[in-house]
Amino acid sequence: MNETDTRGRLSAAAVVLTGLAVLGGSLRADEAVVAVIPQPVAVQAVGKPFVVAEETVLIAAGAARAEAEKLAAALAPAMGFALPIVEGDEPAGGSICLRLRDEHAAELGEEGYRLTATVEGILIEAAEPAGLFYGIQTLRQLLPAEIFAKEPVADVAWAVPGVEITDRPRFGWRGLLVDPARHFLPKFQLLDFIDLMAVHKFNRLQLHLTDDQGWRIEIRKYPGLTDRGAWRDETLIGHLRDHPHEFDGRTYGGYYTQNDIREIVQYAAERHITIVPEIEMPGHARAAISAYPHLGVFPEEQKGLRPWTRWGISEDIFAPREETIAFLQDVLLEVMELFPGTFIHIGGDEAVKAQWERSDEVQEMIRELGLADEAELQSWFVTRMDRFLAEHGRRLIGWDEILEGGLAPGAAVMSWRGEAGGITAAQAGHDVVMAPTSHTYLDYYQGPPTEEPLAIGGLITLEHIYGYEPVPAVLTEDEARHVLGAQAQLWSEYIPNYGHMQYMAFPRAAAMAEVTWSPPAGRDLGDFLDRLRRHLERLDALEVNYRPLDP
């Protein structure tokens, strides 16, 4: 199903509210700016603010009650008190009411909401719980920035401007990628990052779980994948281009147990974020082959292989024999048990085929299958996985190299080498997620390399991301419907820890959130930067190690 939602868009609007009475005083004009990120579709001032106090109650019923519980939990740490929840779906004076209504589906879709705040109270309406959740995120941003603090804050009037907001996302895929394969991200930090994603209304988190440098997910049928494949003997110091190479000499690794994964998936689902697991194949396979050499093209030569200790692309590639396919399908069976989302990412990128070219066995296989070359062999390999996933009710997605040699009928493409692959796929009727290096790689430098932490290279500024348009102009309206959305990538070769990851992600991820949520009409960099300066106060309260804005 096409997840892109381009129907029923409302015109973008922003509003500055001034002269609002609060507790007998008044809000300063700069305190009353509706500085929500991502920008809502439509905002209208409706009068005086509502002040959340200890007497305020939450009203919700049915599926809305779970969202009300999340709101109460989000507000309690900073306010120092928890709002009680009362059963019902009709607003009352001095309340915050969360209400689900089927009749809103046509206008708001599955993720849209309407928020009305007046001096009497607040009403958030939606067709689905996800819409209520996103309305809650907007409500949090309408409150003073201190609401994001983790401990009680004194002497703050918890005032919400009098405003009516109607909002829905432009795209159904609003994603970020995290790469624990190169540098492992402990579970508690990954959960914290999921919270930051929720604040920005992202709804897809791709986990790059396997690569040459490490295998990060427990597979019970094949314990060697983590016993051996999750640990490398040392790690490169400095940049790959530097010579001679230096290494730290310390064993490095880690992995998520299946119980960890279940907890992560559930935690994300409660925040309406779907985890998309990525299991790399046929390339980026050295860690797996280190654990099970028979999966490699030259098993005898690959005995004693260890996960790679440097960055870049290893030539070690899965052998496309039936034994290997059975192994990987066993892995995917366990992955599907853990991740209930529709899409399973199989990588497919940067598959160096030198070993296939040198192998008499593989060359004979190409001839027997009647294939033209190694590219068609990879297509055959991907098609086998596509059919397997389809048989289990899932869909395959891979990087744009899976187009080479012909694309499996049900596969979706994540276009990273520019937009050409995405355009080709969409024109052929395949769903696409735009993720080009030109605009979405958050591991690139944010400023002059001499003034920034070590990065892989390139330059992608906050302003550059904000100017990105995920739907290429060459696509027709029908073809454009295949653009599910866009995703920004945090490859971790040069991101060794969570603090560094936050620095590389924010505030650029805030720009990406707006690109994928808000309508393109009326997008204005100056307005975004004004709102972002207020938003950074929220990140301060959340103790995020973001990169400061340029002067």
Enumerate the active-site residues: 211, 284, 350
| Those residues with Cβ within 8 angstroms of residue 463's Cβ, 6 or more apart along the chain or in another chain | 511, 525
| Those residues with Cβ within 8 angstroms of residue 359's Cβ, 6 or more apart along the chain or in another chain | 297, 298, 319
The Cα–Cα gap between 321 and 360 comes to 13
Q: What string of H, E and C letters represents the secondary structure of 331-368?
A: HHHHHHHHCCCCEEEEECCCCCCHHHHHCHHHHHHHHH
| 507 prior amide bond cis, ω within 30 | yes
Asked if 168 contacts 99 with a C-beta cutoff of 8 angstroms, the reply is no
Helix (H, G, I), strand (E, B) or coil at 136: helix
Distance in angstroms between the alpha carbons of the first and the last residue of the chain: 44
The Cα–Cα gap between 330 and 309 comes to 27
Task: Provide the β-strand partners of residue 208.
Answer: 278
State the DSSP code for 547: P
The Cα–Cα gap between 491 and 495 comes to 7
Q: What string of H, E and C letters represents the secondary structure of 89-155?
A: CCCCCCEEEEEECHHHHHHHCCCCEEEEEECCEEEEEECCHHHHHHHHHHHHHHCCHHHHCCCCCCC
- Both tokens of 291, joined, read 């654990």
The Cα–Cα gap between 40 and 518 comes to 6
The Cα–Cα gap between 432 and 397 comes to 9
| 38 prior amide bond cis, ω within 30 | yes
Sign (positive or negative) of CA dihedral 34, 39, 40, 44 = positive
Asked if 20 contacts 162 with a C-beta cutoff of 8 angstroms, the reply is yes
Asked if 439 contacts 465 with a C-beta cutoff of 8 angstroms, the reply is yes
Task: Provide the β-strand partners of residue 399.
Answer: 414
- Both tokens of 491, joined, read 């490859």
Cα-only R_g, the chain: 25
